[in-house]
Amino acid sequence: MRKLLVYLKDYKKETVLAPLFKMLEATFELFVPFVMADIIDYGIGASDSGIVLHSGLLLIALGLIGLLCSITAQYFAAKAAVGFSTELKHALFDHIQTLSFTEIDTLGTSTLITRMTSDVNQVQNGINMVLRLFLRSPFIVFGAMIMAFLIDVKAAFVFVVTIPLLAVVVFGIMLITMPLYKKVQAGLDAVLLATRENLTGARVIRAFHKETEETERFEEKNTALTNLQLFVGKLSALTNPVTYIIVNAATILLLYVGAVRVDEAVISQGQVVALVNYMSQILVELVKLANLIILITKALACANRIESIFEVESSMQWGETAQAASGQVILAEEKERMAAAQENTPAVEFDHVHLAYAGAGAESLSDIHITVKKGQTVGVIGGTGSGKSSLVNLIPRFYDCTKGTVRIDGRDVKAYGMEELRGKVGIVLQRAVLFRGTIRENLLWGRKDASDEELWEALSRAQAKEFVEAKEGGLDAPVAQEGRNLSGGQRQRLTIARALVGRPKILILDDSASALDYATEAALRTAIKELPGDTTVFIVSQRASSIRHADQIIVLEDGEMAGLGTHEELLAGCEVYQEIYYSQFEKQNAMQN
């Protein structure tokens, strides 16, 4: 929690003023029993209505001033807590954005969502309540004890015994429940994961008629969370009755001692009432403090979970974004020499690359060695789980290879800055993801300063121009979250257009045309082949027809290269490619017949 307090640095004034005004409110509250004692002893006891009226007005004044102080304290506490959570969420989101796919896969999406929402909200509530009550409640407890000593020392010893006993109960329950609240938050992660899986996979679940099984699975996780919360709640609920028993027993003892002292004419009846009021104040404040400690316990557990995310560092270290960033000045002649040298440099080179995912028992890629020239089209094909996506994900450095080197333009990808590398590579992932907004806003993800003419050109090459023109609003037509108001083929074509807007030197199409018909896919391949410049294209596909015209084809099987060459060469000498190709074309012939 201490590390997170840095996000309160812009709210130092509020963190001081909030408890200060609460202390002022508490101070006025401590004077109320004294005024009540005067009303009883000198007003009612002496039948002096003037003192009753004067003291009554004083009570009203103390109440109004206390209310004003309380509202002011609440304002500053809320401002500090909400500002803290806002900055914390920004920092947490920025940190998550720096993590590589490896860390995100390891942590899990549901856990990150819980940290960003539920955990931060719990910490925010904890900060708010601490600023309001953490100093006020102890101040009233010890203040009431001091005021009791001012009234009568012997009677005040009841407070001396009661307060430590209450502290043992409250803090003892806190120590027991704190680790349990951490388990509650972990259970919440599991429920959130099950919920998220069901919402994102609703169509699949219904297609396989698995609603009953998924309902049972959710109920199992939810029941486990409910039982744990009930158990922790029962322990926490012990706080109030135990404290009430102790305080009420202390009140009875106080009344007995007070009665004896009144009988001895040491104190007055009004002072006994004041002592009982102070005991009641202690009861109320200790109940508040107990509830506050429960809330703080939750907040601390959540803060530790948030800190654990901040402690996760990206396994990727990025190089300089450009030579100019290091202050080097490159002469025109040197630039020409470098440009000439780069002409003969391979666009992409896999130098005996191996890849093993974190926590995986075996390698996903083993000893991949390929050289791709500028302007070439490379096809990647293989069975499910053969490592096709893993291979192309190494190019934009979504993952780092565990052995070997991946080079772009003769330079290790690890030497690039993130912006420079991702500026060279455009990738269309297997799952077409669009964001809520308009078609224009989604396409501008490729390049912010792209003109409408460039957007239409990209749409035309992606075979998406026709359906975009047909939509009301054209480029400004709305896109629902994840493109739910578009068909699968439309989403794929828009994501391809988005990648083309960025004018990448290397374009990766990772099974991104699977929802397209053969005619549209053929037109798309032709348009991509006619891209200006030396654009190197990687096409990952399950269809042999999609990659048969590539300059070279990589055939993968169980993460290893089973073949490399042109369509004709592989058809003549690669058994894996032959099996894939002939099985698909046999199916097509059967369909035609």
Question: Could you tell me which residue, 307 or 282, shows the higher pLDDT?
Answer: 307
Please give the share of the chain, as a percent, with pLDDT higher than 70. Answer: 94
SS (H, E, C) 381-415: EECCCCCHHHHHHCCCCCCCCCEEEEEECCEEHHH
Q: Distance between CA atoms of 502 and 490, rounded to whole angstroms? A: 19
pLDDT digits (tens, 9 = 90+) for 33-50: 878 877 887 778 677 788
Going by pLDDT thresholds of 50, 70 and 90, the confidence category of residue 332 is very low
Does residue 545 carry a pLDDT above 80? Answer: yes
| 425-428/506-510 β-pairing | parallel
Angle at 309 between CA 303 and CA 315, to 5 degrees: 165
| 147, 278 contact by CB (below 8 A) | yes
Residue 337 has which token pair?
């020499």
Instruction: Indicate the length of the chain as a whole number.
Output: 593
Going by pLDDT thresholds of 50, 70 and 90, the confidence category of residue 586 is low
Q: Is the dihedral of CA 426, 428, 434, 438 positive or negative?
A: positive
Quick one: average pLDDT of 278-287? 79
The region of weakest confidence among 390-399, 424-433, 581-590 is: 581-590
Instruction: Put the strands of the sheet holding 377-382 in their side by side order.
Output: 425-428, 506-510, 536-540, 377-382, 552-557, 560-565
DSSP 8-class letter at 566? -
Q: Distance between CA atoms of 2 and 307, rounded to whole angstroms? A: 9
pLDDT of residue 87: 93
Q: Is the dihedral of CA 433, 544, 551, 383 positive or negative?
A: positive
Does residue 203 carry a pLDDT above 80? Answer: yes
Q: Distance between CA atoms of 15 and 164, rounded to whole angstroms? A: 28
pLDDT of residue 329: 41
pLDDT of residue 494: 92
Q: Which helix (H) or strand (E) holds 370?
A: strand 365-372
Does residue 525 carry a pLDDT above 70? Answer: yes
Quick one: average pLDDT of 538-555? 89
Does residue 93 carry a pLDDT above 60? Answer: yes
Going by pLDDT thresholds of 50, 70 and 90, the confidence category of residue 369 is very high
Q: Which amino acid is located at 420 in the chain? A: E
Does residue 110 carry a pLDDT above 90? Answer: no
pLDDT digits (tens, 9 = 90+) for 149-194: 888 888 888 888 888 888 788 778 777 877 787 788 778 878 888 8
pLDDT of residue 513: 80
**What's the distance, Cα to Cα, between the start and end of the chain in Å?**
70
How much helix, strand and coil, in percent to the nearest 5, is found in the chain? 70, 10, 20
Place of tokens 């199992």: 220
Of 471, 404, 458, the residue nearest 428 (C-alpha): 458
Going by pLDDT thresholds of 50, 70 and 90, the confidence category of residue 324 is very low
| 404, 349 contact by CB (below 8 A) | no
Domains for the chain: give ranges and CATH numbers.
Answer: 85-310 (1.20.1560.10), 338-592 (3.40.50.300)
pLDDT of residue 587: 46
What is the full DSSP assignment across 120-184? HHHHHHHHHHIIIIITHHHHHHHHHHHHHHHH-HHHHHHHHHHHHHHHHHHHHHHHHHHHHHHHH
The region of weakest confidence among 198-202, 306-310, 394-398, 539-543 is: 198-202
Please give the share of the chain, as a percent, with pLDDT higher than 90. Answer: 28
Question: Could you tell me which residue, 593 or 574, shows the higher pLDDT?
Answer: 574
